[in-house]
Chains A and B, each alone.
Chain A
Amino acid sequence: MAPLLTVRNITMRFGGITAIDGVSFDVMPGELLGLIGPNGAGKTTMMRAIVGINRPQKGSVALEGRRLDALSIDARIRAGLALSQQLVKPFREIDVRDNVALAAGAAKTRTPLQALLHVDRTAERSIALEALERVGIAQLAAQSPRTQPLGVLKRLEMARALALKPRLLLLDEPLAGLNSKEASELARTIADVNRQGMTIILIEHNLGEVMRICQRLVVLDNGRKIADGAQQATMNDPAVRAAYLGGEADVAA
């Protein structure tokens, strides 16, 4: 099977600091891949390199064999990526449903002229409701994001990414800041979305949930890839234990 996403030799420097150093990995269709590593390992930088928010000095990213390196952020999103950001940023002037509908309108907002010629939003609003249902907050569709707690906003961020109907969903610490009950519920939602056929890269610090839902792990440390493989085997890798867990911690806990 051909990989959905191939990342080859990505190197990213900021001034004198090498944030990512020659990292390569593949994401297979239908997979839920955990991208983990200690703080400062380069996970979010890698996510931003894939989406094009930061441009790497070296290396290449391809989606279904199509190289994305020359494309702008928005063109990469339209090519089939969707990013759910660590810091939730809903549009506060419009309600929860219209936040998602805006993403669902991608075909109508491709160019300004097309956007000018279209007014009707019924189809996008119903796609938005479906996406909100998938993440379990359909009952809050008419609410303003201003008044919603973080747990809801994290789900809204995910619904917005889903409404883009991406080929690959990138989730950057969706569980951060949630309490353990909320976190395990959202992790279950992520696993459900994956089971319905969505390929996902998950960056997450909550290792318990990562072990519960991810089939394969890529581990970064200090900008380098130190492991890549099935989750249990990777976690038992001495290099990973040394770098990530200080060698002693109990992974399964």
Chain B
Amino acid sequence: MTSEFVNRLKVCRTERNWTQADLAEQLGVSRQTVQALEKGRYDPSLPLAFRIARLFGRPIATIFVQ
């Protein structure tokens, strides 16, 4: 149950000293969803991927890498 993408979500989050709960609140998702995203066990929809990219101020391709 692992994604074919590698993501740098955890790196981006820890750079800002955010907890998973902090990130979840800002994205409007549950903490369990953030955990699944970080572990690469759930691929976000395109709208959620854009929200993540916008939140961190980076292009999607630098966060989700194939």
Tell me, yes or no, whether A binds B: no
